[in-house]
Structure 1
Amino acid sequence: MASRIPQAFIDNVRSKVNIVDVIGQYTQLVKKGRQWTGSCPFHDDRHPSLFVEENKQVFNCFSCGRSGSVFSFIMEKEGYSYPEAILSLAESVDIPIDSSISANNGNQIDGTTQAIYQLHTDAQRLYQHTLLNTTSGEQALAYLHDKRQLSDDIIKEFGIGFVPDDNLLLSYAKEKNLSHEVLMASELFITNSVSGDMRDRFSGRIVWPIKTERGQVVGFSGRALDAENSIKYMNSPESPFFTKGRILYNLNRAKNVIKQTGTAMIFEGFMDVISAHMADEKVGVATMGTALTPDHIRQLSRIAKRVLLIYDSDEAGQNAARRSIELFKNNAKNIEVGVVHLPDLLDPDEVRVQRGLPVLKKALNQSILTPIEFLVNAARNGKNLSNQAQYLTFLHEVMQILYTATPVEQDIQLTRIANEFGTSKQALQAQLQQTKQSVKGQNSHQSVSQSSHVASDFSPKTSGYEFGFPVEPNRYQKISKVELAERALIMAMIKDPYTLERVKSTAGFAFVHPEYQLLMMLTEIYQRDHLGTFDIAQFMDFIQKPNLNQKIMAIDHSFGDIKVENDAVQDYLRIIMEEAPVSNRVQELKQLIEIAKQQHDDAKLVQLSTELINIKKRQH
């Protein structure tokens, strides 16, 4: 609840960020009335059950129960703490983050994690100093100067360093009296399984620091200087603070230029990114020994309108490009994608070293294929197209690619194939039409099958509605009169502090359900610090308890528009204090009657049934 980030800063972020835009990066939202709906990104949601209220800046899933503000959504989806979510969203809307706020955020991190972060920062400085200023780094520096043609300025700019074999970092950590727990958790050291001795993980390697989007060093990628080393490249292992599928190399440096230009370049290697930077293309990022992920795409889609894929020309690189095109198609349809074709099967770093920076710059800007053009060209790979069988296989693959293309791209590619292989364009068009009809038939069959399944799951007899929203049948529960009164009373107290004082002073009053008693206590604390109009998103951030936030959403849906009236409040109190005990007794009697029936105790059955009848008469 409490946060060292100033409340004014949090409120500013909340006012600038639109929850629909943020959640829309994770799932497609459709506007229906005052709400936006879509499939919940937190679970397999066959029947869209996520609702987003733009005017109140809150979300709720009626299937899995997750609900909250834009901050809690990012916390849940990205695994961020509350302060991290605030700062991440602040950056996404270009709100400046001064050093005092960053420092305050650091205080929110537990001591071990903070020590790990600091150790990584210190390690990067030590490694770079070793490379540039000591005899231990001379061989590595010569390699970077001569083989990789990197200047000292570039080395400094990208924080490149060298790890000597003398356990420099381990000695430093011991001088700082860092605990064994911190050393183990940092993943910067390796322990000998036999002797138990520790050593620096990246000994004998040139290292590139890996940073988060906000510039915190969380890992390293190391290249062995010794050509005899069987493990040429090594990355920091996965850890709670270092997840390869979420981090893009150089994003912290490139993001502002990406925002300005609208374009991002995705490379396979760190040196490719650096080479592009040297060619004055400063929008490059790279994955780290892992394929592009939906998390990577979401990060880029927040700041880029266009993405260029620059992968190696070998089979692995081409397959990676295919997967990336499909990922963008499924996760960010609004992003324009291009594929850069480099000369002579070279990677970007090789183009820089062998051909020069002007050639690399020109290739990155002019040798750009559309995804369709790339995929059609890739379909040629490994085939002898003078062989009829392989040519027909090629055409089958091409038609599968082209049926989703624009009419113009279809015409361009069919014309190219007709001219190159002598096949009539009319025949190619006929085959493309057959492919379209075949795919359409398959989709139609699948759609009918799914519709039948949906109809069986949600027939009129089983589907239900709660507070005007559809819910899955197994989630539907009738709310008792007593609980409805409790919910209405909570909303009245939220809206009117005087009602809260009135309820507190009512002798003998207590909520039947403990969660509402807790909500009353939290409401009182919240009202002390938040004067003025009630803000449900702000209140949910204050609570930060998923089960209570779900209750608050339900209360707001039912009673958010009610006016606080004395007579109504009195009626809520009466129902809770007088009818709740009676309601409990009715349930108890029903259970006892069932037991009496099972035991064939006729006398007891008559007694209990009579009491139940009399209670119901008094209620009416």
Structure 2
Amino acid sequence: MISKETIDKVFETARVEEVIGDFVNLKKSGSNFKGLSPFSDERTPSFMVSPVKQIWKDFSTGKGGSAVSFLMEHEHFSYPEAIKYLAKKYNIEVEETERTDEQKEAANERESMYLVSEYARDYFHKTMLNSEQGKAIGLSYFKERGFTAATIEKFQLGYNPDQWDAFTSEAIRQGYKLDYLEKTGLSIVKEEKQFDRFKGRVMFPIHSMSGRVLGFGGRILDSSKKAAKYLNSPESDIYHKSKVLYGIYYAKQAIAKEDNCYLVEGYTDVIQMFQSGIENVVSSSGTALTPEQIRLINRLTKNITVLFDGDAAGQRAALRGIDLILEQGMNVKVCSFPEGEDPDSFSRKHSKEEIVAFFDENAKDFIQYKANLLVEEAAGDPVKKADTVRDMVESISKIPDAIKQEIYVQECARIMEVSETVLYNTLAQILKKDKKEAAKQNRANQSQPPPEYMSVVPDEMPNAVEKVNVLYELERKLIESLLLYGQVEEDFEDLVLKENEDGSLGLVPEVHKLRVFEKIYLDLQDDEVEFTNDLFKVLYVRIVEQMNLNDNFQIQNFINELAPEEASEISNIILNDEKYELHRWDTREVYVRKKDTSIAQFVSETVLSLRKYLITQKIKELMDKTQGSSNNQEIIKDILDYQSLNTLLGNKLGRVLSV
């Protein structure tokens, strides 16, 4: 168990914008920050972070909460894992009691796999640095590649001994279960035998964006053996090749800062460039580039520069990835190295300044790259040139932005000496064909509704409008008022029935100075109103209790004490109006009234509306009771009393609205 003192210190120190900024490229938007949702595939920002309130909200998925809840959602951390991650980030010492054997046994499977992977990383690294075989083979190899001791340490490189079960046997001796060694792919189990998957290989740990070890890449050094040069961990619950980029953990801050990501092919390409000072670089780890990997980069920048070898294989690989990158709405450039060079060898021979200058001079926009490459192949052949032009228009068709499409059509027409009209016609044909195929696929994916369903669909269904849950919305507004303005003191006007000079009763305004939470509490107490929504009921009691005890109520402190689903709802309520800021409605001359311009009016209106709604529902309930009943005198009397009260509340509400 982590001590409460440690948890409190973590919450006091951690800044939500800094924590989320490690994973999402945030940009200033008024007093808040905005960015692309890390939980959905989107091209316009719907993700909001509030430094003042220390909360975040993702309007595309409805998720929200504190820095801890973000890590739990994004990195699938448990609560203790998230606290430990933040403690490490902010150099806070974690105080915790020793876990019992039962607690270790109860740890979930994913955590067990992470622990096994982290043990393996340390084992491979120490074996390389401390054993004779490790130093002679593994360490020598990395030094020959030009890696410094600091680089080897930073990337946690290692070596697995050339013995059948050196790692597996040691891991079992240390108390790690064979089941998890097998599930992570570190060990291969056959009948009663088990042996190391990465026997005799130098090891490259593969990290998540948060730095957790997901899997490994292993390179064999003995060319005489009939085995794959590179071997990756198999797919597991924690490692999905298509969703991982090698080096993203080390590169994420540099990518966001430079607003560009260099994409290479191999592990050593990443490490060598990083060592040369080019830190905004990642690799697809030898696998074909996937949309998931591109979206990972898209969270940090819209710009990718693809770096590939100068040979034919490298050029073909570059071409394959271009269309995928364009489909994600990103800007892509391609840079080829001189014949016989790759990012690794080139970085070894040049300084950072020389490398950057080379990229600036040779990185071409994708349309120029394709033109240079394909035109050379099609020289003197009209049919091949036509195919080349069509290939370039195919790429342009992948771009979701119509303005960019037009610009690239113009550029393509200039380079290829083809009329824009022809290119636009070709583009229109391609887009029409793609749309037709997408619609066909969509129809195929939709299952036909059963006949019994069709028979009960009412004729008026197309015009049906989803009903608004008025009670839910009003209760939610009250929670919002408490969270945003609970401690604010306001002048609240109330209309009180008093006898006039002529003996008649009339409504006389009285003004009371109250804090918002006191006003809400007293009004609801008067009518013995209770929340009907279970979550709101819990939150209401907690908020009023905290405000009553603490004059310095802080949302960020309150939210840290809540369960994830409660914290998410709080963030949803507080940042609900920020979506107007996200979409800049003011630029379209749509202006949203700020509640804090008239807090007393907003609160009074909400409370009165809730009371009036509940009374109206009570009158309907009593009216139903009169149906089929012979003795209705008492019920009718109650109805008349409630109607009088309803009229009174209506008059009060009318006065509030007219203020």
* Fold shared, TM-score > 0.5 on shorter chain: yes
Change (3 A) 1:181 1:584: farther
Q: Deviations over 1:448-474 (max 9, x none)?
A: xx9xxxxxxxxxx9999xxxxxxxx76
Cα contact 1:540–1:549 (8 A) shared by 2: no
Give the AA of the match of 2:176. Answer: L
Match of 2:91 in 1: 99
Match of 2:590 in 1: none
Change (3 A) 1:325 1:206: same
Match of 1:177 in 2: 175
Separation of aligned partners in 2, 1:6 and 1:117: 26
Separation of aligned partners in 2, 1:376 and 1:87: 51
Match of 2:510 in 1: none
Match of 1:523 in 2: 543
Match of 1:273 in 2: 270
Within the candidate set 199, 202, 206, 2:202 is matched to 206
Change (3 A) 1:500 1:245: farther
Q: Deviations over 1:329-380 (max 9, x none)?
A: 45464xx643111222653346579xx5579947556432222211223444
Cα contact 1:224–1:233 (8 A) shared by 2: yes
Give the AA of the match of 2:368. Answer: E
More displaced, 523-532 or 279-288? 523-532
Number of aligned residues: 551
Q: Deviations over 1:566-615 (max 9, x none)?
A: 9889968966987666555667x59xx8xxxxxxxxxxx57699999887
Q: CA deviation at 1:221?
A: 0.5
TM-score by length of 2: 0.63
Aligned-residue CA RMSD in angstroms?
5.8
Show structure 2 runs of 5+ residues with no match.
398-402, 439-459, 487-515, 578-593, 644-659
Matched, 1:123 2:114: no
Q: Deviations over 1:505-554 (max 9, x none)?
A: 7797643443332222342565489753664x776665455488558856
Q: Deviations over 1:93-138 (max 9, x none)?
A: xx9933326888x999984566654543443333234335434447
Separation of aligned partners in 1, 2:623 and 2:46: 37
Matched, 1:161 2:152: no
Cα contact 2:16–2:49 (8 A) shared by 1: no
Q: Deviations over 1:234-289 (max 9, x none)?
A: 21233343343444323344455556655542211012223434555444321224
Question: Residue 391 of structure 1: SS of its match in structure 2?
Answer: helix
Matched, 1:391 2:382: no
Match of 1:13 in 2: 15
Cα contact 2:260–2:302 (8 A) shared by 1: yes
Identical columns (%): 22
Question: Residue 141 of structure 2: SS of its match in structure 1?
Answer: helix
Matched, 1:563 2:611: no
Change (3 A) 1:554 1:352: closer
Change (3 A) 1:173 1:344: same
Within the candidate set 474, 477, 480, 2:468 is matched to 477
Cα contact 2:615–2:642 (8 A) shared by 1: no
Change (3 A) 1:202 1:515: same
Cα contact 1:190–1:199 (8 A) shared by 2: yes
Give the AA of the match of 2:205. Answer: P
Show structure 1 runs of 5+ residues with no match.
418-424, 451-460, 465-472, 594-604
Separation of aligned partners in 1, 2:156 and 2:526: 66
Give the AA of the match of 1:479. Answer: V
Separation of aligned partners in 2, 1:18 and 1:120: 25
Matched, 1:434 2:422: yes
Matched, 1:236 2:233: yes
Aligned counterparts, 1:14-413, within 5 A: 14=16, 59=57, 61=59, 66=63, 76=73, 79=76, 97-100=89-92, 111=107, 116-137=113-134, 140-141=137-138, 144=141, 155=152, 158-164=155-161, 165-180=163-178, 182-192=180-190, 194-195=191-192, 197-226=193-222, 227-255=224-252, 258=255, 263-277=260-274, 279=276, 281-293=278-290, 296-297=293-294, 300=297, 307-312=304-309, 317-318=314-315, 320-322=317-319, 324-331=321-328, 333=330, 337-344=332-339, 346-349=341-344, 356=349, 361=355, 364=359, 366-380=361-375, 384-398=378-392
Cα contact 2:267–2:283 (8 A) shared by 1: yes
Change (3 A) 1:190 1:548: same
Separation of aligned partners in 2, 1:51 and 1:261: 21
Match of 1:421 in 2: none
Match of 1:532 in 2: 552
Cα contact 2:474–2:606 (8 A) shared by 1: no
Cα contact 2:167–2:196 (8 A) shared by 1: yes
Give the AA of the match of 1:433. Answer: T
Q: Deviations over 1:288-331 (max 9, x none)?
A: 24344555455545666754211245676445534544454454
